[in-house]
Amino acid sequence: MVTLDLAKGVYAKFIDCDDQMFDPETNTPAHSANTAISEDLGQVEYILSDKTGTLTENRMIFKRCCISGVLYGDNTGDALKDARLLNAVSSNDPDVVKFLMVMALCNTVVPIKSNDDTISYKAQSQDEEALVNAASNLNMLLTSKDSSGIAEICFNGSKFCYEVLDVLEFTSDRKRMSIVVKEVKSGKFLLLSKGADEAIFPRSCPGQQTKTYLEAVEMYSHLGLRTLCLGCRDLGEDEYKEWSKKFQDASCSLDNREVNHSRPYQFIMVHLGL
């Protein structure tokens, strides 16, 4: 057994030192997370791939956005270089600040600070990583997220702390993800959501003009871009407590779990500001 484990360790080191598995763009070598990887690779007989870039390259880059009916990135094809958006960020435009705040907080991303104080992000998907990186490039930096659920963001030199109270995870049925946070300083409760247009638009505020957003989504789709809609709204403390009790009861339910679990989601996902 000792000899076998030693051989596995040596094989794993060979993978780590393989120059052909080095990524020069990110300066990242291969890393064997466990010594059993050689056995796992030895069992692979066939490799099946689709056309989504799973085995080729799947780079998620923030290109364009529509905030309060204003399209950014149309002329340059890159919203991060749009002078109008940069000016709105520097002038603390409230709609732009709210948009970036949703991008930075509505996720399960974990920020990791290195010894030289640079921050990198560990994300479950490239979509979330791309959004958080785009927000940080526009001065909305997610700086920390601790085990107690306190997330800290820094915008234009000011720091804001939020307590993440609940995470409503993305599913293929709901086609959206939401979180409920509490602003530590003011005590205000907020619902932040992101998802597909067909999951967000029907839950927008009554009377809100959605025509511009619908046209923007259609235009971006025709350009071959993946689209995502963001929304948020304030929650009253009593409203949140009532919903939280229903959510906790549904989470503990064993009978008709899927049905009971989806009802609290419907109850709170209304009157979103796009």
Position 118 confidence tier, pLDDT thresholds 50, 70, 90: confident
pLDDT at 101: 95
Same domain, 22 and 137: no
Q: Does 80 map to a domain?
A: yes
Establish if 58 belongs to a structural domain.
Answer: no
Can you give the pTM of this predicted structure?
Answer: 0.77
Query: Which pairs from 93-97 meet CB under 8 Å and 24+ separation?
Result: 95/67, 95/68, 96/67, 97/140, 97/155
Show the tokens assigned to 110: 């974990």
pLDDT at 55: 53
Q: Identify the CATH number of the domain in which residue 129 sits.
A: 3.40.1110.10
The answer to whether residue 47 is domain-embedded is no
Query: Are 232 and 101 in a shared domain?
Result: yes
Do 150 and 105 sit in the same domain of this protein? yes
pLDDT in tens, 174-217: 888 899 999 999 999 999 999 999 989 888 888 777 888 999 99
Residue 223, CA distances (Å) to 43, 67, 74, 201 in order: 41, 18, 11, 21
- Domain-located, residue 223: yes
Same domain (yes/no): 117, 151:
yes
Instruction: Out of 23, 50, 117, 238, pick the active-site residue.
Output: 50
What is the torsional sign of CA 253, 166, 198, 273?
Answer: positive
- Please check whether residue 274 lies inside any domain of the structure: no
Q: Are residues 28 and 127 in the same domain?
A: no
- The answer to the question of residue 48 being in a domain is no
Domain count for the chain, please give it: 2
Q: Does the pLDDT of residue 223 top 70, yes or no? A: yes
Phi-psi category of residue 162: left, alpha or beta, with phi > 0 → left and psi -120 to 50 → alpha: beta
Q: Tell me the pLDDT tens digit for each residue of 50-66.
A: 655 555 566 788 899 99
Q: What is the distance between the alpha carbons of residues 78 and 138, in angstroms, rounded to a whole number? A: 12
184, 161 Cβ separation under 8 angstroms: yes
State which residues form the domain around 81. Answer: 65-268
To the query of whether residue 16 is one of the catalytic residues in this protein, the response is no
8 and 110, same domain (yes or no): no
Which residue has better confidence, 271 or 261?
A: 271
Whether residues 29 and 142 fall in one domain: no
